[in-house]
């Protein structure tokens, strides 16, 4: 059966996914709120540069305001917007999703918790994404991970394997490797831990992600963030899941061993040219997702009585960068060193 698809929120990740689906021959429309980017896609398509290839492909693109002029009703919507835009964008696209259609959150954080109640738990499928990309110019994406290095896990929120989740996994093979998990919540929490270890501190320091594993103080601080996130998740009952295509045996060991494996694997797969999304937001002068990453760990830690001082501190420091009172710079390592010393037993 032919699927009518939409990619909603086509920044670097959404553009990468949308371009691959279009190239594979799927009927897909890319919808975004950045006018210049939409116009560039309409005129010239998308240019995606990767470590091992370059893709130039025509795509169908719409401004948000143009969606109401189309008769499209979608079988599949891939939500690739920033986490803080999830709720209003879900409400926006809800009337255009077929009654038996699927919405999939290809995002960081636990967006399913606030998306599913809007769209209906029976119409939302969870996903974990390993894909690094950057966009600073309309119509041009620098994709840091190749097709071989891109990975998705998809799963029903209820944990059962269904024909529609198998179909989704097959569709996403046009973008990268895919797996089906019966523990999507655990997989998403495991990725949340990785994001909490990397996104905010790397954004504060203005580093490339690979440098997190090469500077001992940074690595130690990142693992400290991960310990807090791991404890919150364990207390909440999440079962850590092997992700990035690793087998369960590769994700075994002590808490620190699992955290280090999580961190090193992600950094290795992304490569040496990647700037994470939080640093990109700082460079663009935009609001970042840290409140829905480290900030979410702080929030959930409070509900279960788990202290998260390091995650609370980097959330606060990120706010200072967004307010212009602090700049992302390597010299901020002295601040992180002091925080680690204060909160390490």
Going from N- to C-terminal start, the domains of the chain cover: 4-182, 186-343
168-196 burial, b at 16+ Cβ within 10 Å, e below that, comes to bbebbebbbbbbbbebbbbbbbbbbbbbb
Global pTM reads 0.94
Asked if 142 and 135 touch (Cβ cutoff 8 Å), the reply is yes
pLDDT number for residue 342: 84
User: Which parts of 106-223 are beta strand (E)?
Assistant: 124-130, 133-137, 140-143, 151-156, 177-180
pLDDT number for residue 212: 83
- Angle among Cα 124, 127, 130 to the nearest 5 degrees reads 155
The two three-digit tokens of residue 8, written as one number: 């909603």
pLDDT number for residue 157: 96
CA distance 109 to 117: 16
Asked if 32 and 10 touch (Cβ cutoff 8 Å), the reply is yes
Tell me which residue of 23, 25, 29 sits closest to 6, measured CA to CA. 29
pLDDT number for residue 270: 78
Record: fold of 4-182: Rossmann fold (3.40.50)
Residue ranges for the chain with pLDDT beneath 70: 1, 345
pLDDT number for residue 54: 95
pLDDT number for residue 265: 85
Tell me the three state secondary structure of residue 42: helix
Assigned CATH for 186-343:
1.10.1040.10
pLDDT number for residue 345: 67
CA distance 22 to 135: 19
pLDDT number for residue 337: 86
pLDDT number for residue 284: 92
């Amino acid at each position: 059966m032919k699927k009518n698809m939409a990619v909603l929120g086509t920044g670097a990740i959404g553009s990468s996914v949308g371009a691959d689906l279009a190239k594979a021959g799927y009927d897909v429309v890319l919808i975004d709120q950045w006018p210049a980017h939409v116009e560039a896609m309409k005129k010239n398509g998308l240019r995606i540069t990767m470590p091992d290839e370059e893709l130039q492909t025509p795509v169908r693109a719409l401004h948000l305001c143009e969606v109401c002029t189309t008769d499209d009703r979608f079988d599949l919507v891939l939500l690739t917007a920033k986490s803080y835009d999830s709720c209003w964008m879900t409400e926006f696209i809800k009337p255009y999703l077929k009654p038996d259609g699927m919405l999939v959150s290809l995002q960081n954080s636990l967006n399913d918790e606030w998306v599913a109640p809007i769209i209906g738990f029976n119409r939302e499928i969870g996903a974990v994404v390993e894909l690094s990309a950057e966009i600073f110019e309309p119509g041009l994406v620098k994709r840091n991970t190749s097709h071989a290095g891109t990975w998705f896990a998809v799963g029903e929120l209820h944990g059962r394997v269904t024909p529609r989740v198998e179909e989704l996994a097959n569709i996403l093979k046009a973008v990268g490797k895919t797996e089906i998990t019966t523990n999507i919540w655990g997989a998403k929490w495991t990725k949340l831990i990785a994001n909490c270890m990397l996104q905010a501190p790397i954004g504060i320091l203005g580093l490339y992600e690979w440098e997190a594993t090469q500077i001992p103080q940074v690595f130690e601080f990142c693992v400290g963030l991960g310990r807090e996130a791991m404890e919150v998740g364990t207390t909440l009952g999440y079962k850590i899941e092997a992700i990035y295509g690793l087998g369960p045996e590769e994700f075994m060991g002590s808490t620190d061993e699992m955290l280090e494996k999580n961190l090193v694997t992600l950094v290795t797969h992304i490569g040496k040219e990647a700037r994470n999304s939080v640093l990109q937001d700082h460079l663009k002068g935009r609001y970042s997702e840290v409140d829905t990453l480290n900030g979410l760990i702080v929030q959930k830690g409070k509900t279960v009585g788990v202290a998260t001082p390091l995650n609370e501190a980097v959330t606060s420091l990120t706010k200072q960068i967004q307010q212009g009172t602090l700049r992302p710079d390597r010299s901020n390592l002295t601040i992180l060193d002091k925080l680690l010393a204060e909160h390490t037993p």
